[in-house]
Homo-oligomer: A and B are copies of this chain.
């Protein structure tokens, strides 16, 4: 497989989301220039990105929304990583469970873990909460490949280590440390404070 860039994958996910909304609104066809305006980029980039998903549009008519959505979904779909575990049921962890509960997505959170005894055994936003000590077993037995880390930074690395030891291949990291992981492990960092400071910097240094 020829390597696909993170940027392209991210945009494909965005196109898919836009296409789903168009389909719901009964839009049958869309041009690259319309899709790019909804996605906030350029028609050339849309066409370039769509090259890799193996669906071709029709000149003058554009792309069939349903067909294109299907093609992108097939391209993106990773059946081995459609289940995720979440570790850390503080406010952020719960906000994510709540958020995912209301959203349709190919990725489902299947279990949550925490160290606090009063949370263990409870069901929070439809997700069962387990003792952190069971994390490794659960991940291994259920062949989970995707982990979400919402614990304080002091313990984030140790959680990542347990995840990786037990087969997790990809981590969505909300803690504000850089995880040390082997090169084959994918880490996506979502550091809210860093993003806020970035936004502050560009408040008048933009342009």
**For the complex, what is the distance from the CA of A154 to the CA of B192, rounded to whole Å?**
22
Q: Are B38 and A197 interface neighbours, CB within 8 A?
A: no
A176 with B13: in contact, given A84-B196, A91-B91, A188-B195 (CB under 8 Å)? Answer: no
* A162 on the B face (CB < 8 A): no
* A131 on the B face (CB < 8 A): no
* A14 on the B face (CB < 8 A): yes
Of all chain B residues, the one with the shortest Cβ separation from A169 is B203
What copy number does this chain have within its complex? 2
Distance to closest chain B CB from A46 (angstroms): 13
* A95 on the B face (CB < 8 A): yes
Which of these binds chain B: A2-10, A25-33, A60-68, A133-141? A2-10
Given B95, B172, B193, B194, which contacts A95 in the complex, CB threshold below 8 Å? B95
Q: Are B84 and A204 interface neighbours, CB within 8 A?
A: no
Q: Which of A105, A171, A186 has the most CB of B within 10 A?
A: A186
Q: Please tell me the size bucket of the interface on A.
A: 35 or more
* A49 on the B face (CB < 8 A): no
A103 with B193: in contact, given A78-B200, A145-B203, A201-B78 (CB under 8 Å)? Answer: yes
Q: A9-B198, A146-B199, A169-B203 are in contact. List 15 more A-B contacts (CB 8 A).
A: A38-B178, A40-B178, A78-B205, A91-B99, A94-B95, A105-B193, A107-B200, A146-B196, A148-B196, A170-B199, A184-B206, A185-B206, A186-B202, A188-B199, A188-B202
A residues adjacent to B (C-beta < 8 A) = 1, 4, 6, 9-10, 13-14, 17, 38-40, 76, 78, 80-82, 84, 90-92, 94-96, 98-100, 103, 105-107, 145-146, 148, 169-172, 176, 178, 183-186, 188, 190, 192-207
